[in-house]
Chains A and B, each alone.
Chain A
Amino acid sequence: MTEFIQQILNGLSLGSIYALIALGYTMVYGVIQLINFAHGEILMVGAFAAFFAITVWGANIFAAIIIAMIASSLLGVVIERVAYRPLRNSGRLAVLITAIGVSLLLQNGGLMVFGTDFRAFPRVIENTHYKFFNGSITITSYQILIFTVTVVMMLILQYIVQKTKVGKAMRAVSWDKDAAKLMGINVDNIISVTFAIGSAFAAVAGVLLGLYYNTIYPLMGLMPGLKAFVAAVLGGIGLIPGAFAGGFLLGITETMVSGYWSTKWRDPFVFIILILILIIKPSGLLGREEKEKV
């Protein structure tokens, strides 16, 4: 039983990170029906920005997160502007191929600029282990940090989307672009804002991944990116609560599979889930036939 609880706790912190990443996929999908395959690389750039902020400028972890968010947002906005916007009226396949191209470009760009080696992410805060039930359950301060940051980000996002003017505009754009234009909404700007927010969340996830696994490297966004994409589909692509539900569920599933079965099956299992969900319920767990996409 304690083993089970331990796996849930581990799954929650890993799932938090997936949720933060999944959010970017889902928000972007909500406004332009595109899977931004470069999202994992946006995360990687955020992690490196934080890394340099800490190691070169001596920033603390919170300043580093802010810097990472800014760097990733800028990158996300530029990618949309340069690569996706010119294709807005082209077929979906053209945009999808472009997205994969941007992803590969950034992976290789990352390898060129940052080199191929793994770098140890600085241990900016003490990773204390808190033991419970005679040491059978351990919670680390990193896990607490990851989970807390995610919950706070989630609340901020809910506030932005539900209460602010820009959030309402995002929901309008995601529902009906022409009708949104008739309200005087600058749809291009709202799409940029969406990329900025989604990318900022990816940056936070990137920093947390750096802390969680202790290393960063130019291809670090690849696997978490794919898994978070699965999480977004699992929860219902385009649905913000779905991204969180899918992220947590996937994180827990993953730790369960590696804990009770085999770490070898951890990654394949995620893609089995993707295939199953696409066969059984493509709209995702929280998805209905017609849905609000942001």
Chain B
Amino acid sequence: MLSIKDIDVYYGAIHALKGINLEIKQGEIVTLIGANGAGKSTTLRTISGLVHPKKGTITFEGQDITRLPAQKIVELGISHVPEGRRPFAKMTVLENLELGAYLRKDKDGVRKSLERVFEYFPRLKERMYQKAGTLSGGEQQMLAIGRALMSKPKLLLLDEPSMGLAPILVQEIFKIIKEINEAGTTILLVEQNAHMALQIADRAYVLETGRIVLSGAAEELAETEAVKNAYLGG
């Protein structure tokens, strides 16, 4: 479904990604784990067109999307929940969700998606007219995921959805991620919480200072010494 071939990404002089290769097949949950500054967010930002690689290609469902602007990539069916959630703080929960469906013309479909989001996250429905900036961290994460679902993506990119959440809420969010996947959305999940991520993912990639150092079935990776020591606390 998505295929990243040998991409190099720079921020000015900083060489953030150094020849990354990554594959995602339809229906999978793939997780990308790694330490701070490894380049996880940059990988997602490159896929969604917020930054462009200096070299290499990204193809999505057979189409080269390497140079496409971000809004075209959304249109093709990739939705990105950015690190830090980035809600439109001064707009209401409902307005945020409506913006998620910005490119859609099918009003009935949008209404169905909205109902869907409220089924996943009933708390958003209760707070529909509340300003997004006044939501709790957990609710903002729900909003960010809900907003991304409003475009009815085929591929959902999630950047550290568990960041800063209480363990019970992390459980809840991961359960919903699993449900979203079972309902047919492919997922690329970036996580610091490698333990949880490896539990729900089919496959995993380990990123270290801009390079993929390990990859394979999530279950198997979770058993390797290197991953255990570095990311699962021994």
A residues engaging B (CB < 8 A)? 165, 168-169, 171-172, 175-176, 178-187, 290, 292
Contact = CB atoms under 8 A, between A and B. Distances in A.
A242 to B, nearest CB: 14
Contacts of B48: 182
A168 B95 contact: yes
B43 to A, nearest CB: 15
A183 B100 contact: yes
A182 B88 contact: no
17 contacts: A165-B102, A168-B91, A171-B90, A172-B99, A176-B88, A179-B87, A181-B49, A181-B70, A181-B71, A182-B50, A182-B82, A183-B100, A184-B75, A185-B99, A185-B102, A186-B69, A187-B71
B86 A292 contact: no
Contact of A168 (B71, B89, B98, B103): B98
Contacts of B100: 183
Contacts of B87: 179
Contacts of A178: 50, 70, 82, 86
B151 interface: yes
B154 to A, nearest CB: 14
Instruction: Tell which of A182, A187, A292 has the most Cβ of chain B within 10 Å.
Output: A182
A183 B86 contact: no
B91 A184 contact: no
B50 A175 contact: no
Instruction: Tell which of B70, B79, B91, B148 has the most Cβ of chain A within 10 Å.
Output: B70
Contact of B103 (A171, A180, A184, A290): A184
Given A184-B75, A185-B102, A172 B82 contact: no
Interface of B: 48-50, 69-71, 74-75, 79-80, 82, 86-91, 95, 98-100, 102-103, 147-148, 151
Contact of B74 (A171, A176, A182): A182
Contacts of B103: 184
A184 B95 contact: no
A169 B69 CA distance: 17
B71 A184 contact: yes
Nearest to B45: A178
A179 B86 contact: yes
A185 B90 contact: no
A169 to B, nearest CB: 7
B89 A183 contact: no
A168 B88 CA distance: 10
B102 A179 contact: no
A179 B74 CA distance: 12
Contacts of A186: 69, 71
A292 to B, nearest CB: 4
B99 A183 contact: yes
A211 to B, nearest CB: 37
Contacts of A292: 89-90
Contacts of A179: 82, 86-88
A185 B71 contact: yes
Given A181-B70, A182-B80, 17 more contacts: A168-B91, A171-B88, A171-B90, A171-B91, A172-B88, A172-B99, A176-B86, A179-B87, A181-B71, A182-B70, A182-B82, A183-B99, A183-B147, A184-B70, A184-B71, A185-B71, A185-B99
A186 B95 CA distance: 18
Nearest to A181: B70
